[in-house]
Amino acid sequence: MGIFRVPVQPLERTMMTELFLRGFPWRSGRVSGQTSGCAGTHDADARPDRIDRGSTARCNSVPLPLWGLVLGLALAGAPSAEAQTCLTCHGSADFLRSVTGDSARAARLTVDPEEFRSTVHGAMGFSCELCHAGIGDFPHAASPRVACGGCHHREKEQLGHSVHGQPHALTGEEPAACIDCHSDHHIRRPSDPQSTVYRLTVFETCAVCHEDADKMRRFGQENVHTVASYLNSVHGRGLIAKGLTVAPICTDCHGKRGTGAHEIQIVPDSGSPMHREHVVETCGRCHAGIMAQYDRGLHGEQFRAGNLDSPTCISCHAEHGIQAVANPASGVNPLHISRTCTACHDREGFNTKYGIRAARGNTFARSFHGIALGSGQLTVANCESCHGAHEILPSSDPRSMIHASNLVATCGSCHPGIGKGVAQGRIHVASFEEEQSLVGAAVRWFYIIVIGVTVVYAFGLIALDQYRYRVVDPRRGGGSHA
Ligand code: HEC
Ligand code: HEC
Ligand code: HEC
Ligand code: HEC
Ligand code: HEC
Ligand code: HEC
Ligand code: HEC
Ligand code: HEC
Ligand code: HEC
Ligand code: HEC
Ligand code: HEC
């Protein structure tokens, strides 16, 4: 982790100096402040140590125009006077315990001064009151909840449109607030390894809720293993075991491109990158080469044409549980791939709909390769060996691996020297079986008809005989002999 750690203090200083000179934040637009009469209290060139601290009291309710002061304090490296006052009490757990008589509550009320100074706001010399507006001497009057959105307008607005920031239909609650993901007094930049939203560890923050079965069910979410299955996937292991920052994290797949975590939507929402319409593009952001192959194949072509039957990346690779091909848990591992393909290709009515001749899974399972594969011999051909994985094309397409002119090469990769005749033999035995079953059906019907006719004829004879015996000529019946 060491290499990721950026020395916070010096970075803050240079960044702050630069922002200061550029008149941050009004022009940068990253943090938008309220306009207020405080703006002119001190001019931007004022040296930090000359700023009139008395002015802060008047400006506490209108935070941002205090920037000159905040920046000045940061440059001077001095914690703000207000913070120090508050910390006289709030910096001491012992003191708070003696007042509240409740050690759990005292622990919550304690703010570690050292730690606070290393957080993003603390390092800028934020006074406590910049967030806790209106809190005064002890005993405190009831104070309003901290409004992060007062300064971070953009994030507030984005969150307001996301699933986390809107009252949920089932509970009426907003699922997640700023501090659920960022904490209150431990807020750090996302690039800081200690941040709750640091790329390599942000899943832990999501897991607090998303692995909490009771909480998620209250919100109608039955899948409470999203994080666990992600962690067990090739992506999760890439992130954690290999420390790959390029492995996708929750927000890469669920947040809108570029704006990340604050715009997460439910998957069925067309704004979600995991919505069927966008999922290929989202995976393709990293797997661009494979997306290009997919687009050249029939599956991709049909997907782009809006065919809802065609597979997207996650139809074959699963959602959170995506595994490396070599892993037997993967749906595209040679052991399972025919099941994955036949989920569609053997589906009731599928082949008729597309005019494909026979159920491909059944016929494959009964082929040489299928039988060998079924008994665990992984070197034989599976669907992918003959059709490819992403650039799958119909046999009529000259580029297809199963086009007559390419079969020698396709089969030849495992059967060197295979002859043209053998290679063009029927692979999906059904073509042969279909013919066989045609004869079979004819024979079957022949017998059914012959037997049916014979039975009807026999019963007819008996009935006629009885008729003559009992009705036409009763005198010759058995009774008259008695
Ligand atoms: C003289 C000691 C003292 C000082 C100074 C002090 N506090 Fe407190 N503060 C307390 C105690 C004790 C409590 C717990 C009150 C309780 O539980 O009844 C508290 C509670 C709080 C709470 C929680 C309120 C709630 O309703 O849960 C906040 C927020 C707070 N203080 C912020 C501040 C800020 C900001 C400052 C500086 C402007 C400050 N305090 C200065 C002693 C102090
Ligand atoms: C970046 C904004 C921010 C700053 C700066 C800040 N706080 Fe807080 N503080 C919060 C938030 C958010 C909460 C959670 C409660 C809420 O949302 O109102 C909180 C809660 C508290 C509580 C109550 C904890 C509880 O669970 O009841 C105390 C006490 C407190 N802060 C003291 C301080 C002190 C002392 C300082 C200055 C050293 C300070 N805060 C600086 C944002 C801030
Ligand atoms: C008084 C205004 C103010 C309040 C209130 C405030 N912030 Fe900030 N916050 C800032 C400023 C200014 C920065 C520094 C921006 C920069 O340098 O990019 C900042 C930085 C941040 C960063 C790091 C941004 C980055 O680009 O690295 C996060 C995360 C953050 N704040 C979250 C919060 C949360 C969560 C709250 C509420 C608990 C909060 N802030 C309350 C003004 C505020
Ligand atoms: C669901 C969790 C979550 C919630 C809720 C959340 N954030 Fe964030 N925030 C993140 C993550 C994760 C990042 C890291 C960058 C990213 O992925 O977008 C981040 C980044 C930031 C940044 C750095 C600038 C940026 O956009 O990269 C700021 C500032 C910030 N958040 C403020 C807020 C504020 C203010 C709120 C409440 C209005 C809030 N966040 C709510 C997860 C959250
Ligand atoms: C590689 C992309 C990817 C990553 C990384 C990812 N997800 Fe997902 N997630 C998906 C897809 C695809 C779905 C859609 C499942 C569906 O269609 O039902 C989904 C669905 C969800 C759902 C809705 C419940 C469900 O299963 O349908 C939640 C909640 C969720 N993800 C949370 C997370 C969290 C938390 C993380 C990080 C630990 C994460 N996701 C990481 C792709 C991803
Ligand atoms: C404070 C709790 C909390 C935190 C933290 C949290 N979430 Fe959520 N999230 C929820 C709740 C509750 C829902 C609503 C469940 C629903 O409607 O399906 C939700 C919904 C979602 C959905 C939409 C699921 C769907 O139905 O399609 C996704 C995706 C998601 N969260 C991802 C994340 C990610 C990624 C993070 C971490 C950056 C995160 N969440 C952090 C509580 C949380
Ligand atoms: C029709 C099913 C199917 C679809 C759709 C599909 N894949 Fe695959 N994918 C496979 C198979 C089968 C393999 C195994 C190839 C092999 O054995 O080498 C594979 C392999 C992979 C690999 C590993 C590369 C390798 O050759 O080892 C990646 C990465 C991948 N796919 C990503 C994607 C992405 C991204 C998409 C969407 C653009 C996608 N796949 C769509 C079936 C599919
Ligand atoms: C942010 C980039 C990123 C995104 C988005 C992404 N992946 Fe990956 N993917 C990776 C990386 C990096 C690896 C390699 C991990 C490793 O080897 O440890 C990988 C590995 C894989 C593998 C395993 C390849 C193998 O070796 O067999 C498959 C399959 C895969 N991804 C499919 C997908 C699918 C499907 C999606 C979309 C739902 C997706 N990926 C989204 C970056 C990404
Ligand atoms: C989600 C369903 C689905 C999955 C999974 C799927 N396919 Fe397809 N496949 C389709 C659809 C839809 C078509 C397009 C049919 C058409 O337009 O003729 C198609 C077309 C084909 C074709 C060309 C058929 C023709 O029309 O000539 C082949 C070959 C094929 N798929 C092989 C595979 C293989 C091999 C796999 C597994 C790696 C697979 N498919 C997985 C739905 C699927
Ligand atoms: C040993 C090579 C081989 C294997 C293994 C194989 N196929 Fe085929 N497949 C072919 C050949 C050759 C054709 C074209 C001739 C035919 O229809 O018999 C074909 C045709 C098809 C077609 C019709 C496409 C068209 O354009 O005619 C589909 C769909 C198909 N296969 C799916 C599958 C599925 C699904 C699997 C795995 C369960 C599979 N195949 C396994 C070689 C193979
Ligand atoms: C991935 C490698 C691979 C590919 C591609 C492949 N085969 Fe095979 N094939 C095998 C293996 C291994 C066996 C031996 C199976 C066994 O033990 O019965 C085999 C067995 C056979 C057999 C049974 C007779 C024998 O030699 O045991 C025939 C016939 C056959 N393959 C034809 C083909 C045709 C035709 C193609 C191309 C359409 C093809 N194969 C593609 C690996 C492959």
pLDDT band at 368 (very low <50, low <70, confident <90, very high): confident
Nearest CA to ligand 2 atom 6: 128
CA 225 to chain centre: 12
156-160 long-range contacts, Cβ below 8 Å, gap at least 24?
158/259, 158/262, 158/263, 159/262
Ligand 11 atom with the smallest distance to the CA of 425 is 35
Ligand 1 atom with the smallest distance to the CA of 85 is 5
The mean pLDDT of 258-268, rounded to a whole number, is 87
Q: Can you read off the two tokens belonging to residue 406? A: 């390419």
Q: Which ligand is nearest to the CA of 227?
A: 5
Sequence-ordered alpha helix ranges (H) in 162-225: 178-182, 202-210, 213-218
The C-alpha atoms of residue 111 and residue 122 are separated, in whole angstroms, by: 11
The C-alpha atoms of residue 32 and residue 174 are separated, in whole angstroms, by: 24
Distances (CA, A) of 366 to 74, 332, 369, 394: 75, 20, 8, 22
CA of 369 to the centre of ligand 11 (A): 6
Q: Which ligand is nearest to the CA of 428?
A: 10
CA of 390 to the centre of ligand 7 (A): 6
Amino acid (1-letter code) at residue 323? Q
The C-alpha atoms of residue 138 and residue 135 are separated, in whole angstroms, by: 9
pLDDT band at 436 (very low <50, low <70, confident <90, very high): low
Tell me the domain boundaries of the chain.
Answer: 2-151, 441-472
Is the peptide bond preceding residue 65 cis, with omega within 30 degrees of 0? no
CA 432 to chain centre: 44
Nearest CA to ligand 11 atom 40: 411
Distances (CA, A) of 377 to 326, 370, 374, 380: 15, 9, 7, 6
The C-alpha atoms of residue 473 and residue 456 are separated, in whole angstroms, by: 24
The C-alpha atoms of residue 38 and residue 66 are separated, in whole angstroms, by: 7
Distances (CA, A) of 97 to 91, 108, 113, 184, 391: 12, 10, 17, 21, 68
Percent residues over pLDDT 90 in the chain: 59
pLDDT band at 82 (very low <50, low <70, confident <90, very high): low
Per mean pLDDT, which of 128-132, 314-318, 354-358, 442-446 is the most reliable? 314-318
Ligand 3 pocket member 182 (CB < 6 A): yes
CB 331 within 8 A of CB 340: yes
Q: Which ligand is nearest to the CA of 34?
A: 3
Per mean pLDDT, which of 12-16, 59-63, 119-123 is the most reliable? 119-123
Is the peptide bond preceding residue 139 cis, with omega within 30 degrees of 0? yes
Q: Which ligand is nearest to the CA of 322?
A: 8
Q: Can you read off the two tokens belonging to residue 220? A: 């109608």
pLDDT of 87 above 80: yes
Please provide the average confidence, as pLDDT, over all residues in the chain.
Answer: 81
Nearest CA to ligand 3 atom 21: 120
For 143, list phi and psi in degrees, rounded to 5.
-115, 150
Nearest CA to ligand 6 atom 5: 206
Rg (CA), the chain: 37
Nearest CA to ligand 10 atom 3: 386
Q: Which protein residues are within 6 Å of ligand 9, measured from CB?
A: 298-299, 302, 307, 309-311, 315-316, 337, 340-341, 343-345, 354, 356, 383-384, 387, 392, 394
Mutate which of 383, 414, 426 for ligand 11? The one with the most ligand atoms within 8 Å of its CB, which is: 414
pLDDT band at 427 (very low <50, low <70, confident <90, very high): confident
Closest by Cα among 286, 314, 289, 291 to 301 = 291
DSSP-based three-state secondary structure for 147: coil
Q: What DSSP assignment string belongs to 247-262?
A: S--HHHHHSBTTTBGG
Mutate which of 210, 223, 278 for ligand 6? The one with the most ligand atoms within 8 Å of its CB, which is: 210
pLDDT band at 24 (very low <50, low <70, confident <90, very high): very low
Nearest CA to ligand 3 atom 39: 148
Percent residues over pLDDT 70 in the chain: 78
Q: Tens digits of per-residue pLDDT, 190-217?
A: 999 999 999 999 999 999 999 999 999 9
The secondary structure of residue 137, as a DSSP letter, is: S
DSSP-based three-state secondary structure for 325: coil
Q: Which ligand is nearest to the CA of 383?
A: 10
Torsion sign (Cα): 319, 320, 322, 323 = negative
CA of 152 to the centre of ligand 3 (A): 7
- Residue 315, Cβ neighbours under 10 Å: how many? 18
pLDDT of 81 above 70: no
CB 119 within 8 A of CB 8: no
Higher-pLDDT residue of 471, 292: 292
CA 457 to chain centre: 70
The mean pLDDT of 229-257, rounded to a whole number, is 93
Ligand 9 atom with the smallest distance to the CA of 340 is 5
Ligand 4 pocket member 187 (CB < 6 A): no
Task: Give the residues across from 256 on adjacent strands.
Answer: 260
Nearest CA to ligand 2 atom 30: 109
Mutate which of 231, 275, 280, 287 for ligand 8? The one with the most ligand atoms within 8 Å of its CB, which is: 287
The secondary structure of residue 468, as a DSSP letter, is: I
Please give the biggest Cα pair distance in the chain.
144
The C-alpha atoms of residue 141 and residue 134 are separated, in whole angstroms, by: 8
Ligand 5 pocket member 199 (CB < 6 A): no
Q: Tens digits of per-residue pLDDT, 369-424?
A: 999 998 888 899 999 999 999 999 999 999 999 999 999 999 999 999 888 777 77
The C-alpha atoms of residue 365 and residue 101 are separated, in whole angstroms, by: 73
Mean pLDDT is lowest, of 31-40, 256-265, 420-429, for 31-40
Ligand 1 atom with the smallest distance to the CA of 131 is 35
Ligand 5 pocket member 317 (CB < 6 A): no
pLDDT band at 334 (very low <50, low <70, confident <90, very high): very high
CA angle 417, 418, 421 (to 5 degrees): 140
Higher-pLDDT residue of 362, 43: 362
The C-alpha atoms of residue 327 and residue 171 are separated, in whole angstroms, by: 40
Contacts of 272 (CB under 8 A, 6+ apart): 254, 264, 265, 266, 278
The C-alpha atoms of residue 254 and residue 258 are separated, in whole angstroms, by: 11
